[in-house]
Amino acid sequence: LPGPQPGGDGVRLALKAIWTKNSGHLTASQQEQLWELLREFKDSFALGEEEVVITHLAQHEIDTENAQPIKCWPRRLPLTRQEACDQA
């Protein structure tokens, strides 16, 4: 399925979905600011799954200081959870 076309209702619906998912805990003023930010920078957001890509342009490091790695052996999932994972 093609993603939302620039300037179309699809873009507005995709932005509305992002806003709805992320604005529930915000004040009315913050919700308005979020909506303006989404509209202003709509080209910066992936509005469809086909727009999500892997990039190597940004990297980050996590400083663990002197913490030693923890080795955890994988565990088998219970059969009911395994079936749910297989369906996902």
Domain ranges in the chain?
A: 1-55
Q: Could you read off the pLDDT tens digit of each residue along the chain, which spans 88 residues? A: 344 445 567 888 989 999 999 999 999 999 999 999 999 998 888 877 778 788 888 889 999 999 988 888 888 888 888 888 888 7
Angle at alpha carbon of residue 84, lines to 81 and 88, rounded to 5°: 140
Model pLDDT, residue 7: 54
Q: pTM surpassing 0.75?
A: no
- H or E segment to which residue 36 belongs: helix 28-40
Model pLDDT, residue 2: 41
- For residues 83 and 88, give the distance between their C-alpha atoms in angstroms, rounded to a whole number: 9
